[in-house]
Structure 1
């Protein structure tokens, strides 16, 4: 029996129109009695701007625009898709899934559609699941999306977290192929670290119990992230029988430039092989990797035939990596 593989054949992304520079955010926070500065934000994170969605814009709205771009790039229609997976931590509703809502907005019905919730590792998880389903023969063409409206869950009284995140969406079309595209992946989680990055609130009887806003122990996250990202990347390379030198591009979750620099250094990769969008997009959680991938493809950086390492780490605590050939 001929082996089945999957390959990315189209990418897309979308950012809300409202761009919020550090200076814009500093002014907003100052009006609320919270002090910070552009210099403080850039030095600690590398972030200079982010995009925030308007109040009536949902994760599925952003996902729809990114999906349309990815479908156009792949040269196919929504009706050609037989699997939809959306990675998000900020869904439109408690249920149904954002993927089902996206399916309806795309004007199609019938194919399986579901969400993956692994926070900032969500797109890596979703891509791995889609690849497995295509290899198993249960799908031929998948739409895999990361979409977030993190501005909804930020505490604008906490300058250590509210300056980090932004909204956006990225998407890929993953198609069955005779040639390997997704070469290997490596996924992990450790629930003992739930408390260092979470939104601890929940809904009960129409009321919110606990806090509905993001809370994070930044130092603990940083310490864990730099270690597990290197291990996941090396494990993925081992599974593919490849070396660090085989990587043409590293596209990490765009959380913090210092984490990205540390990971690149550990993998002995120069920063000119790392796709960086955190400076203009902030941390868009599950959207950050597909956003950065699409940005790099459309800028002519990532090209057909090149080997790309994707990796992410997020609340849960979750982490993982995917090695692919474009």
Structure 2
């Protein structure tokens, strides 16, 4: 959908200290051959005090400050996450609403895995269009990938999982970037690719070796064997088609070709995975992606897109007149693409 008065007016991101890949190799958690394929230098790994909600609060407060808005101007907070939120039996959205926005507006948690923050743009746009008395919405995201649920180094070949949080402020009253268009594609017939070979359970059973740590490779293999006679190429073909449609529709509605966009922010995949599953299908190259950022943090779920945008600002690489493509890919599967037009060179994000 094309937008004429939807803007990003502030962003924020917070990442813990990166752990060099060499340390994981020395500990037997990773291997040099995979490192060469992924090109990963390090992964952002949370410390004991870096819980998912706390990291989200840090990023949200940075985005609020960067926006220059007051908390009482917000009508909505959407929190995107894919992993455990720090505590069962509570509402992380309400916590963030209180801690970041002083209780203003309302809050909703978005569970769409790594596409959550991008999908939240669609939800925030609809909310703001229907509630003209509230001009701003906050999108936060945080994830932390810890054992016994996750093995950050081996969940998926060529992919290293990192920890951190990011946030963005959306407004109808102007900002440094206009969201020219947003387009989402969904392929729910592929959701079994993440659950084949395991069963639903009433509670997490960390003693079940089939279920934990999460092994997306084994689940994908079981899905391909059961439904596609072992032809994984059929699955990737459908995924590539949806990605191309999402990026193509967002670009067309924004009046720009993907190859002419100045900056490309995709999920923080390793270099081989990014090339095979994203860049090659789209006919794009790595040069316009924030490679150095990706290789330091790893894939932080739904955090990657606004985190990448914040990095481009921090690195002084965004200028008025440029365009940015943000693209999320979430298990399930869902793809959301957004084209931004940079109206003015954004101020640095205060740390």
Query: Would you say same fold, with TM above 0.5?
Result: yes
Corresponding residue number in structure 2 for 1:271: 286
Question: For 1:184, which of 165, 181, 184 is the aligned residue?
Answer: 181
RMSD: 3.1
Contact 2:263 2:288 (C-alpha < 8 Å) held by counterparts: yes
- Deviation track 1:84-117 (CA, whole Å, cap 9, x = no partner) reads 1111012233454422121222261141111111
- Deviation track 1:242-287 (CA, whole Å, cap 9, x = no partner) reads 3225422111111232343353455454433222322111111100
Partners of 2:206 and 2:70 lie apart in 1 by 40
Report matched runs for 1:205-284 at 5 Å: 211-217=211-217, 225-262=239-276, 263-276=278-291, 277-284=293-300
Report matched runs for 1:48-59 at 5 Å: 48-59=41-52
Report matched runs for 1:127-138 at 5 Å: 127-137=121-131
- Residue 256 and residue 312 in structure 1: after superposition, are their counterparts in 2 closer, same or farther (change >3 A)? farther
State the shift of 1:226 in Å. Answer: 4.2
Partners of 2:48 and 2:199 lie apart in 1 by 20
- Residue 147 and residue 162 in structure 1: after superposition, are their counterparts in 2 closer, same or farther (change >3 A)? farther
Higher-strand-fraction structure = 1
Corresponding residue number in structure 1 for 2:226: none
Corresponding residue number in structure 1 for 2:87: 93
Corresponding residue number in structure 1 for 2:25: 26
**What residue ranges of structure 2 are gaps of 5+ in the alignment?**
222-231, 343-351
Normalising by structure 1, report the TM-score. Answer: 0.84
Corresponding residue number in structure 2 for 1:309: 325
Instruction: State the number of aligned residues.
Output: 317
Partners of 2:195 and 2:51 lie apart in 1 by 20
State the shift of 1:58 in Å. Answer: 2.1
Partners of 2:199 and 2:192 lie apart in 1 by 12
State the shift of 1:40 in Å. Answer: 1.9
Corresponding residue number in structure 2 for 1:143: 138
Corresponding residue number in structure 1 for 2:229: none
**What residue ranges of structure 1 are gaps of 5+ in the alignment?**
none
Partners of 1:235 and 1:84 lie apart in 2 by 27
Contact 2:71 2:104 (C-alpha < 8 Å) held by counterparts: no
| Mapped pair 1:193 → 2:207 | no
State the shift of 1:224 in Å. Answer: 5.4
